[in-house]
């Protein structure tokens, strides 16, 4: 299986973001012929006020029903390109609650999984910028995996990356690949992004696929910056593909024989005590 991690510079313009996603997926399919594409966190809308973010939210449809613009765009990308689509994340409305939610689709546009981000980014970064994800979102409470051509894919989103216990649970559920769609800040990303991704890959002995936001966006009157550097890390911890600072994509093949080789070399799953 070959996977492309799509790197975007999203904004508050939902229609423009969906068009950007479609164009970048089309480019990756033409250039690299992936079996799966992954989009970044909040790819359809980022920034703005709490009211703007909630206004961009969509309810997820019941099985067999049509969804909103984001849901149908993702389903169309899968069906039209014949690829699995890991839909990064977008803002889900569920009654009077909102969640940062991943939805994935198979090659025919059938939904495979729904995952709500568990760990919310309520942090003040070293430059004094405050992020309060809980002002907009509620937290999920489930671990989620799905099957794609015999590969078990685990779900996580951005700040989840800092919580190794989630990744251990995904490994215990048989994950071969773990997705990390993200909008990592410039301040934290330059020091922690690659280190954490490589650590999670080494610990879980899985491929880690991290599709990221890059560049700047407006949050009210404040300009904020995302780190970018979308990458794919193999189970030995090597970065096997990485995007630059610009929008684009990084592609690499998932080798299941190599996963087995790494797990055989260092059988930590057999040696775990606690």
* Catalytic residue ranges: 41, 117, 158
Query: Is there a contact between 250 and 1 (Cβ–Cβ < 8 Å)?
Result: no
Cα-Cα-Cα-Cα dihedral of 83, 237, 146, 269, to 10°? Answer: 150
- Output the CA torsion 9→11→14→20 (10° steps): -20
- Region for residue 149 given its phi and psi (left: phi exceeds 0; alpha: psi -120 to 50; beta: otherwise): left
Which backbone phi and psi does 175 adopt, to 5 degrees? -60, 135
Element (H, E) at 187: helix 186-204
Q: Identify the CA nearest to 185 among candidates 218, 227, 221.
A: 227
**Residue from 87, 86, 223, 212 nearest 161 by CA:** 212
């Amino acid at each position: 299986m070959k996977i492309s991690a799509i790197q975007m510079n999203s904004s508050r313009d939902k229609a423009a973001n969906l068009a950007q996603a479609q164009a970048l997926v089309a480019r990756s399919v033409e250039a690299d012929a992936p079996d799966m594409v992954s989009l970044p966190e909040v790819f359809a809308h980022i920034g703005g006020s709490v009211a703007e973010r909630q206004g961009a939210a969509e309810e997820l449809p019941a099985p067999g029903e049509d969804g909103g613009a984001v849901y149908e765009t993702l389903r169309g990308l899968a069906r039209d390109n014949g690829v699995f689509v890991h839909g990064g994340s977008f803002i889900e409305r569920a009654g009077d609650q909102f969640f940062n939610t991943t939805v994935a689709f198979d090659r025919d546009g059938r939904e495979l999984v729904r995952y709500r981000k568990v760990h919310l980014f309520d942090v003040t970064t070293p430059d004094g910028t405050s992020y309060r994800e809980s002002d907009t979102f509620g937290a999920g409470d489930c671990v989620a995996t799905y099957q794609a051509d015999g590969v078990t894919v685990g779900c996580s989103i951005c700040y989840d990356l800092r919580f190794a216990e989630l990744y251990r649970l995904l490994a215990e559920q048989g994950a071969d690949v773990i997705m990390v769609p993200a909008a990592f800040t410039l301040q934290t990303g330059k020091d922690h992004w690659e280190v954490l991704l490589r650590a999670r890959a080494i610990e879980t002995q899985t491929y880690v696929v991290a599709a990221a936001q890059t560049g700047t966006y407006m949050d009210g009157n404040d300009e904020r910056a995302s780190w970018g550097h979308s990458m794919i890390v193999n189970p030995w911890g090597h970065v096997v593909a990485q995007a630059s600072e610009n929008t684009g994509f990084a592609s690499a093949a998932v080798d299941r024989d190599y996963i087995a080789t790494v797990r055989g070399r260092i059988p930590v799953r057999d040696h775990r005590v606690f």
